[in-house]
Amino acid sequence: MADVIYPRLIGARLRSQMSYRASFAMDFVTQVIAQWYELIVILILFTQINALGGFTRNEVLLMYAFAGAAFGVADLFAGQLDNLPTYIRTGSFDVLLMRPLGTLPQIMCSDIRLRRIGRITGALAVMIYALTHVPIEWTPAKVVLAIATPIAGSVIYSSVWVVACSVCFWIVEGREFANAVTYGSNAFTSYPINVYSRPLRWVMAFIVPGAFVAYYPSLALLGKQDPLGLPGWVGWTSPLVAALAAVVAGLVWRFAVRHYRGTGS
C-alpha cells in the first residue's frame, strides 16, 4: 500500500507548489543565494589568505560543495522534522500514529518544499566547478566516490536530523537545540575539520559523524594525507558510516516514539 500512497502524496505536493510559477521562481532564486552565502564568505577569506588549514581555495570549495549538496537533499526530506514540536504540542502526532504507515516517512513526505532544490542546484554548480579545478587523478573508483559522497552525506545529515529532533519528544521546545546540531553541522562540515579545536572536532566530526560528509571523501579524492593522522582508506568509508547512522537514527526514533504521550485533547 505504502508504495502507492507516497508517490501520490509527493506528486500532489509538487503540483500544488508549481501552480504559482512566479512565486516559485523567486523562492528558488532566494534559495540559490542562501546556499551561496557561505561561498561568498570563503571567497572573501581567500582574498586575504592562500590556504586554510593547508587547503587551497578550490579544495575548500570542494568540501563546501559536498556539504552543501548533501545538506540540501537532507533538508528536502528531513527538514520537515522541524515541525515536530508543533505536532507534539498540538497533539496532531496522534493522527500520524493512527494511520497504518510509518510515522517517520509520513512526516518526511508531509511538506516537501520543492524550492529547496534551489539549494541543491547552487551547491552542485560549485561542485562541478571545484571538481574540474582541483588536481585529481581520476580513476573509475574515484568517479564512483565523487557521486556516492553527496548521497552518503545526505543520509548522514538526515540521520542527524532525526536523532536531534527526537529530543523534542522529551523537551517540546527543543527545536533550537536540534538546529544547533543540524544547521551547525552544515556550517561545520563546509570547512576542513583540522581548523577546529579538539573538543569541537570530537563532538561535530566523530560523535555527530560530520567528518565523513565532505572532509574525508575530499581527502581521498585529492589523494592528500590527513593532517590529523587517520589512514587514507577512511575516505572511502562514508557509505558505511551513513548506513550505520541510519540504523542508529531508526532505533532512536523508535525509542522516542514509544515514549510519546498524547496531550489528551
Partner 1 sequence: MLAGMTTNVVFGLLRVAILVAALKAANGEIADYDIAAANTYVWIGQGLLGFVLLWGTNELAERVRSGDVVVDLYRPWHLQGALLAEDVGRGGYAFLTRLAPPMLLGMLVFPFQFPASPYQWPLFLVSAVIALVTCFGCRFLVEVSAFWLLDNRGLYGFWNISSGLLCGLTVPIAFFPEWAREALWMTPFPALVQAPIDVFLGHGSVVKLLLYQLFWAAVVLALGHLALQRAVRKVVLQGG
**Taking the complex as a whole, how short is the minimal distance between the CB of residue 82 and partner 1, in angstroms?**
13
Of 209, 252, 259, 217, nearest to 237 by C-alpha is 217
Whichever of 192 and 239 has its CB closer to partner 1, that residue is 192
Whichever of 146 and 175 has its CB closer to partner 1, that residue is 175
Within its chain, how far is the Cα of 220 from the centroid? Answer: 20
Whichever of 25 and 144 has its CB closer to partner 1, that residue is 25
Whichever of 89 and 254 has its CB closer to partner 1, that residue is 89
**Taking the complex as a whole, how short is the minimal distance between the CB of residue 192 and partner 1, in angstroms?**
8
**Taking the complex as a whole, how short is the minimal distance between the CB of residue 180 and partner 1, in angstroms?**
4
Whichever of 34 and 144 has its CB closer to partner 1, that residue is 34
Cell matching residue 169: 519528544
Task: Give phi and psi for 230, each to the nearest 5.
Answer: -80, 150
Match 557521486 to its residue by C-alpha cell: 147
**Taking the complex as a whole, how short is the minimal distance between the CB of residue 143 and partner 1, in angstroms?**
31
Instruction: State the amino acid at position 59 in one-letter form.
Output: E
* Residues sharing a CB contact under 8 Å with residue 51, sequence separation 6 or more, in sequence order: none
Cell matching residue 48: 586575504
Instruction: State the amino acid at position 13 in one-letter form.
Output: R
CA distances in angstroms from 41 to 11, 35, 98, 103, 163, listed in the order given: 37, 11, 47, 39, 29
Max Cα distance, the chain (Å): 62
Whichever of 6 and 24 has its CB closer to partner 1, that residue is 24
Whichever of 26 and 141 has its CB closer to partner 1, that residue is 26
Cell matching residue 217: 571523501
Cell matching residue 149: 559522497
State the residues that interact with partner 1 by CB under 8 A. Answer: 23, 26-27, 30, 33-34, 37, 40-41, 44-45, 47-53, 173-177, 179-180, 183-184, 187-188, 191, 195-197, 200
**Taking the complex as a whole, how short is the minimal distance between the CB of residue 161 and partner 1, in angstroms?**
15
Measured at the alpha carbon of residue 188, what is the angle toward residues 132 and 108, in degrees to the nearest 5?
90
**Taking the complex as a whole, how short is the minimal distance between the CB of residue 234 and partner 1, in angstroms?**
22
Whichever of 71 and 188 has its CB closer to partner 1, that residue is 188
**Taking the complex as a whole, how short is the minimal distance between the CB of residue 104 and partner 1, in angstroms?**
23
Return d(Cα 103, Cα 253) in angstroms, integer.
Answer: 9
Within its chain, how far is the Cα of 212 from the centroid? Answer: 12
**Taking the complex as a whole, how short is the minimal distance between the CB of residue 197 and partner 1, in angstroms?**
6
Instruction: State the amino acid at position 87 in one-letter form.
Output: Y
